[in-house]
Chain A
Amino acid sequence: MLHERYVRPRYEKKLAPTPPAAVPSGPVLTQFFNAMLVTERGLVQGDLWMLGDKLVDPQSQFWERSAKAVDRRVDCQGMLLAPGMIDIMLYGAFGVDFSRCAEADAEAQVASDLAMVRRRLPELGVTAFCPAVRPCAPADCARAIQRLGKTARLPPPSRDVVMGEETAWAQCLGVHLDGPFLDALHAASTGSSAEHVRSSLEGNALDEACGGRALEATLITLAPELPGAVTAISRLVAAGVGVGLGRTEATLAQCYDAVAAGARLVTQVMSAMPPFKHRDPGPVGLLADGRVGKADAADAADAADADAANAKAVAPPWPAIRSATGTFTGAPGDIFFSLAVANLHSCSVNLVHGANPHGIVLLSDLGSGSGDAEAAEASLGAIPSCARQLYLKTGAADPSAAILCGSAHPARLLRLPNKGRLTAGADADLLLLDPDDLSVKACYVAGQLAWSHPNLRGALWFHA
């Protein structure tokens, strides 16, 4: 057992399934009770309410509803209730490799593969994801960006039913381009052939390498030391594309330039980048710079609030970073560090966690979709399992902070104020997690049950 504080889960107890009553017309008000809520301020015992596909403030709902206080209730049986996980770099899963989605004649196949992955990801606790694409030929890159574009949360492309009710699928948030603008030294680490790797971002390189669709991606990981990188980053950021620094040999100064231009992520920190050195710490040095996104939990929550309210930026109280090309005035938690926890030594994890606990974004390790891994095997590399390892390796008092590294932090990275949090108005993408091992017991996407553990089936909906 990981810790002593929780009520042990009682879901082994077989509960009599409640026959579904007539589903009320209009949005359904659901109460989750007996839950440990995963919040920025730690685990909170309590309940959570959702109306349709959004979380709501239950009080105003109560006074305004004339008849029943609640349509149905979910007994969480002491499990953790967490925001849905967001995987910002998913190479593939369930035998699908997103990098192969670019092949010219595979249009129909890609659509069905993507649908299959979206339908099955909830069982790994993932409610939204960015498919990652390795360096490839320009035409292929353009096709991948187009085919793996953003999808809506509702409705799923075809009617799908779980436990007699319509379900929803994980949401695709658009492509994460892992390259092709990488340092040649790290070309091999992408698992793609070196011929597609580009060594310059000057001139028209960005458009040329991505078939003109670079600005339609959601995230792009590049090496900031390449010529023309700063201009390209500014252009990407202005178009709303998130920029990550990775597979790089950059110096810290070059990283500051990239951050000043708007880069907000260090992709796979400590891997495929120079080691931490005393004269020039390189990209890893961003971790320890107090001016770059270091916030306590309350600040992080407030920053998320500010995001949500679209509040205008306030001048931060710390000195701005002056770089060759501009001035970076960061905000708390503004830089994120993605971390494949499973592959890192616990010393490295603790180093990152100690330096910047509120900037960690968990990366899954689903074996790049290469094999036909069984679901059980896949879940070992999935984000909830990474959260558990982060929690174990850092020895935190409770797992909420580790869980938020897979939900709230990526949501803030992608500027999705309605995701990753359990506040009124947020999207009802929810997970029920086992309090002992953080394994996924049920997953809700857009307020609909997308997956539940076989032991739980029939016990989750109570019609009030």
Chain B
Amino acid sequence: MRLIIEDTPEEVADLVAAYVVKKINDFAPTAAKPYVLGLPTGSTPLACYKKLIGLYKEQKVSFQHVVTFNMDEYCGLPRDHPESYHSFMWENLFRHIDIQRQNVNILDGNAPDLKVECDRYEEKIKSYGGIKLFLAGIGPDGHIAFNEPGSSLSSRTRIKTLAQDTIIANARFFGGDVTAVPRMALTVGVGTVLDADEVLVLITGAHKAYALEKCIEGGVNHMFTASAIQMHPKAIVVCDEDATLEMRVRTAKYFKSLPHREEMLGLARVETLMESSAKRPKK
């Protein structure tokens, strides 16, 4: 697993957006061979989406042949409700880019049979040959997608009841009314995320420091479902300085000394990397 520590949340967003664009462009997707991207919702990815929109507007990338799968969606919330993840994705990404409707996949929390909807979603992912890059955020309790603490680490897409602290945390989006937050959600499983070729987790802010420490330094643990990415052959965690507050200095220093960042972006060959990372200005 790689851990990349940037100074600010903005640099995290820059790096991740640049990486996504590079992956799409290197893949050179076509209609017959689309690039398949997994997408999260939430405040951390929001900054990254803004950067992606900026890069799209500068014509650095096209989403014409990009297929997206979203991680989760509330059950029973109308699709056009401002807090639905359909609305989130539309407002913050899809309306600004040239993505095609038929390439967008979000779980339907209002489907007549939710079990069938979840199975259909898994099948659909398979039909594209799996997800190439899964972006993810994590919750303060270490959840990835809506895989609340205690979820099976081999879980697939399914219905999940939200944990009380998630409901309380999300009440701020529903006018502070805890009873207005949907109790259930459809979510991809931890296993679904781990099946992706690459998993990239964004973590920013001091309030996520404990979760990051658990995710990196703790063991694989079903009470911190994001820690399962330790088992993934190609997992990347990008965080800011604030998120490292709970981590041991030793761990943070180790990861900062590595040229992961440049390698990721294919900026330079490894020999020159050691010099250039030594020259990076200290702030």
A67 within 8 A of B: yes
Is B100 within 8 A of A67, CB to CB? yes
A47 within 8 A of B: yes
With known contacts A58-B95, A59-B87, A63-B86, A69–B101 Cβ distance under 8 A: yes
For A36-75 the 0/1 string (1 means CB < 8 A from B) is 0000000000010000000001111011011111000000
With contacts defined as CB atoms under 8 Å apart, how many contacts are there between chain A and chain B in the complex?
33
Is A59 within 8 A of B101, CB to CB? no
Is B101 within 8 A of A47, CB to CB? no
Chain A residue contacts of B79, Cβ below 8 A = 63
Is B80 within 8 A of A69, CB to CB? no
Chain A residue contacts of B91, Cβ below 8 A = 59
Is A65 within 8 A of B101, CB to CB? yes
For A55-97 the 0/1 string (1 means CB < 8 A from B) is 0011110110111110000000000000000000000000000
Is B80 within 8 A of A60, CB to CB? yes
Chain B residue contacts of A464, Cβ below 8 A = 98
What is the chain B residue whose CB lies nearest that of A57?
Answer: B80
With known contacts A59-B80, A63-B79, A66-B102, A47–B86 Cβ distance under 8 A: no
Chain A residue contacts of B98, Cβ below 8 A = 69, 464
CA distance A252 to B86 in the complex (A): 56
CA distance A47 to B87 in the complex (A): 16
Chain A residue contacts of B100, Cβ below 8 A = 67-69
Chain A residue contacts of B95, Cβ below 8 A = 47, 58-59, 62
For B60-80 the 0/1 string (1 means CB < 8 A from A) is 000000000000000000011
CA distance A307 to B79 in the complex (A): 27
B94 within 8 A of A: yes
CA distance A464 to B87 in the complex (A): 23
For B98-133 the 0/1 string (1 means CB < 8 A from A) is 111110000000000000000000000000000000
CA distance A464 to B98 in the complex (A): 9
Choose one: B86, B87, B94; the contact of A69 (CB below 8 Å): B94
Choose one: A47, A57, A62; the contact of B94 (CB below 8 Å): A62
Interface size on B, as a range, is 10 to 19
- Closest Cβ of chain B to A18, distance in Å, is 14
What is the chain A residue whose CB lies nearest that of B91?
Answer: A59
B174 within 8 A of A: no
CA distance A66 to B91 in the complex (A): 19
CA distance A58 to B97 in the complex (A): 13
Is A59 within 8 A of B90, CB to CB? yes
Is A68 within 8 A of B101, CB to CB? yes
- Closest Cβ of chain A to B69, distance in Å, is 16
Is A67 within 8 A of B102, CB to CB? yes
CA distance A68 to B102 in the complex (A): 8
Interface residues of B in 78-92 (CB under 8 A from A): 79-80, 86-87, 90-91
- Closest Cβ of chain B to A72, distance in Å, is 12
Chain B residue contacts of A47, Cβ below 8 A = 95
CA distance A62 to B102 in the complex (A): 10
Interface residues of B in 25-56 (CB under 8 A from A): none
CA distance A160 to B79 in the complex (A): 41
- Closest Cβ of chain A to B50, distance in Å, is 14
Is B99 within 8 A of A69, CB to CB? yes
Is A62 within 8 A of B101, CB to CB? yes
- Closest Cβ of chain A to B260, distance in Å, is 36
Chain B residue contacts of A59, Cβ below 8 A = 80, 86-87, 90-91, 95
CA distance A28 to B222 in the complex (A): 50
Chain A residue contacts of B86, Cβ below 8 A = 59, 63
CA distance A464 to B95 in the complex (A): 14
Is A66 within 8 A of B101, CB to CB? yes
What is the chain A residue whose CB lies nearest that of B108?
Answer: A63
Chain B residue contacts of A57, Cβ below 8 A = 80
- Closest Cβ of chain A to B100, distance in Å, is 6
CA distance A68 to B103 in the complex (A): 10
What is the chain B residue whose CB lies nearest that of A61?
Answer: B101
Cross-chain pairs A/B with CB under 8 angstroms, 7 sampled: A58-B95, A60-B80, A62-B94, A63-B79, A66-B101, A67-B102, A69-B94
Other A-B pairs, 8, CB within 8 Å; known A62-B90, A62-B95, A63-B86: A58-B90, A59-B80, A59-B95, A62-B101, A63-B90, A65-B101, A67-B101, A69-B100
Q: Could you list which residues of chain B lie within 8 angstroms of chain A, going by C-beta atoms?
A: 79-80, 86-87, 90-91, 94-95, 98-102
The 9 tightest CB contacts between A and B, nearest first, are A59-B90, A69-B101, A65-B101, A60-B80, A67-B102, A69-B100, A62-B90, A58-B95, A62-B101
Q: Could you list which residues of chain A lie within 8 angstroms of chain B, going by C-beta atoms?
A: 47, 57-60, 62-63, 65-69, 464
